Homo-oligomer: A and B are copies of this chain.
């Protein structure tokens, strides 16, 4: 948590520091990210930084919480439009929300891409698929099975893990090009859809 002094700062200065941090964390892994670089880019003295934040971890959490909040907001918004679709479509759509953010704030998604490769458990936990979310999607699969869209024997958890993993990695490698991502994921999803469909 940033110190009180940070919140006492004029908002413009808060933003300058935040943006400098975003810039650094979107190009360097957490462990490689340099406070020196951030203060230089924000144009504040090194000493001041430690007046605002306890340490690098403090800043990192601050930045990531702000970003994940934005992603969640977009996800929520998109969720509504798809509430009647099959489980796979809904899940894939939720993942695609990141792509939407990519057009307005590409640095945010770059942070996701870079930091999700960090092995430090402290960083890792920000990028794990929440068990709670997973359970919700499994429920959707149950509904699909009852509807007769999906075969009874399909391992829903495996499908979810698969799609999550494919999406994350595809996004990581293809990165900025939202169209290419969508196209590739469609190819993957087609195969999976055919694999779980009731014939």
Q: Is A3 an interface residue (CB 8 A)?
A: no
Q: Is A169 an interface residue (CB 8 A)?
A: yes
From A38-46, A65-73, A79-87, A157-165, the one touching the partner chain is A157-165
How close is A143's CB to chain B, nearest CB, in angstroms? Answer: 19
Whether A188 contacts B32 by the Cβ 8 Å rule is no
The one of B29, B166, B196 in contact with A166, judged by C-beta atoms closer than 8 angstroms, is B166
CB-CB < 8 A to A169: which residues of B? Answer: 165, 169
Q: Give the oligomeric copy count.
A: 2
**Number of A positions contacting B (CB below 8 A):** 27
In the complex, what distance in Å separates the CA atom of A114 from the CA atom of B187? 29
Binary flags per residue of A174-199, CB closer than 8 Å to B gives 1, else 0: 00000000001001101111111001
Whether B119 contacts A29 by the Cβ 8 Å rule is yes
Whether B191 contacts A158 by the Cβ 8 Å rule is yes
In the complex, what distance in Å separates the CA atom of A117 from the CA atom of B117? 6
Q: Is A154 an interface residue (CB 8 A)?
A: yes
Q: Which residue of B lies closest to A194 (CB)?
A: B195
CB-CB < 8 A to A170: which residues of B? Answer: 165
In the complex, what distance in Å separates the CA atom of A169 from the CA atom of B162? 10
Among A114, A158, A170, A199, chain B packs the most CB atoms within 10 A around the CB of: A158
Whether B191 contacts A195 by the Cβ 8 Å rule is yes
